[in-house]
Amino acid sequence: MASVTFERATRIYPGAARPAVDAIDLHVADGELMVLLGPAGCGKSTLLRMLAGLEELDGGRIFIGELDVTDVAAADRDIAMAFESYALYPHMTVAENMGFALKVLGIPKAERVARVEEAARLLDLEAVLSKKPMAISGSQRQRVAMGRAIARRPQVFLMDEPLANLDDELRVQTRGQIEQLQRKVGVTTVYVTSSATEAFEIGDRIAILNQGVLQQVGTPDELRSSPANEFVADYLGLAS
């Protein structure tokens, strides 16, 4: 686990009138869940992709812990895009579903077993490790998908609108699991959403962006009590 620091991070798309991400300074503490919030096109997903190594920087730097990862390849940044795929493999056990990616990454067996065991303990899946996905409940299957990400032991979890694909019932359920998981595992998490309600419910702190510029960073209470400008107040529905 590690902190994340953006130092004047900038992304300018060729031909664009203004930067998609404009000299953003932001520090995410070790173990913190930071929400990037803002309207479509505000730069929040671009900032997340820059951290993931999917977008190059046109200026500034990004650190994970003490390490400057600005020029480090995505695969070597030790991050996990959580909930990328919910696919579970029907013929493999829960344990295999959680651990197969470790095998692909060349991690030795003893280490794989230890990591799967730990993820299962955190997610309360120990009793079903030998079962196939069809033999467990829907909520357990979702946790298996999370377990796959946890078993990789990333330094940082990235979540890009993880609830957007889900219906209302599942959204509430998954949001609760993300919160619980983040508290239990304590992995630094950067979470993108355009929903202020979701941000308030899930974030330790929230960074609000507009037109590529960071408007304000604070806890939900700080933002509610003292929005930094009209945009923030409007976006959070605080304007009178």
Partner 1 sequence: MPGSLRITATTVDPGLLALPWDQPLELWGDEHIAALPKGISRHVVRLAHLADHVVAIKETTEVLASREYEMLRTLQRLQVPCVEPIAVVANRTDELGEPLDTALVTRHLRFSMPYRAVYSQRLRPGTAKRLVDALAVLLVRLHLAGFFWGDVSLSNTLFRRDAGAFAAYLVDAETGELFEGGLTAGQREHDLEIARINIAGELLDLQAGDRLEDDIDPIAVSERIVQKYRDLWQELTGAEQFEQSERWRINQRIERLNELGFDIEEFEIHTDETGTTVRLKPKVVDAGHHSRRLLRLTGLDAEENQARRLLNDLDGYRVRSASGADEEVAAHEWLTKVFEPVIAAIPRELRGKFEAAEIFHQLLEHRWFRAQSESRDVPLSEALTSYIDTVLRHRRDELTLVEPPTDAIQIVQGLEHPDTTSSIDWRDLV
Give the residues lining the site for partner 1 (CB under 8 A). 13-15, 49, 52-56, 73-75, 84-96, 99-104, 109, 112-113, 116, 129-139, 141-142, 144-145, 164-167, 170
Give me the least distance between CB of 104 and partner 1, in Å please. 4
DSSP secondary structure, 169-182, as one string:
HHHHHHHHHHHHHH
Q: Which is nearer to partner 1, 23 or 166 (CB)?
A: 166
Give min distance, CB of 128 to partner 1, in A.
Answer: 8
Reported in sequence order, the residue ranges of 1-78 that DSSP labels E, i.e. its strands, are 4-11, 21-28, 33-37, 59-64, 67-68
Q: Which residue, 138 or 237, is less far from partner 1 as judged by CB?
A: 138
* Beta-bridge mates of residue 218: 206
Q: Which residue has the tokens 């991400």?
A: 21
The least CB distance from residue 124 to partner 1, in Å, is 15
CA distance 167 to 161: 13
Two structure tokens written together for 122 = 């955190």
**DSSP 8-state assignment for residue 83:** T
Return the number of the residue (90 or 237) whose C-beta is nearest partner 1: 90
Rg (CA), the chain: 19
State which residue, 79 or 232, has the beta carbon closest to partner 1.
Answer: 79
What residue type is assigned to position 82 of the chain?
A
Q: Could you tell me the CA-to-CA distances from 156 to 37, 183, 189 in Å, in that order?
A: 18, 14, 6
Nearer to partner 1, 133 or 220 (CB): 133
Q: Looking at beta carbons only, is 49 or 205 nearer to partner 1?
A: 49
- Report the 10 Å Cβ neighbour count for 237: 9
Residue 57, token pair as written in the block: 């920087």
To the nearest whole angstrom, how small is the minimum distance from the Cβ of residue 111 to partner 1? 10
What's the closest the beta carbon of residue 74 comes to partner 1, in angstroms? 5
Min dist CB 168 to partner 1, Å, is: 10
Beta strands across the sheet bearing 188-193: 79-81, 156-160, 188-193, 33-37, 205-210, 213-218
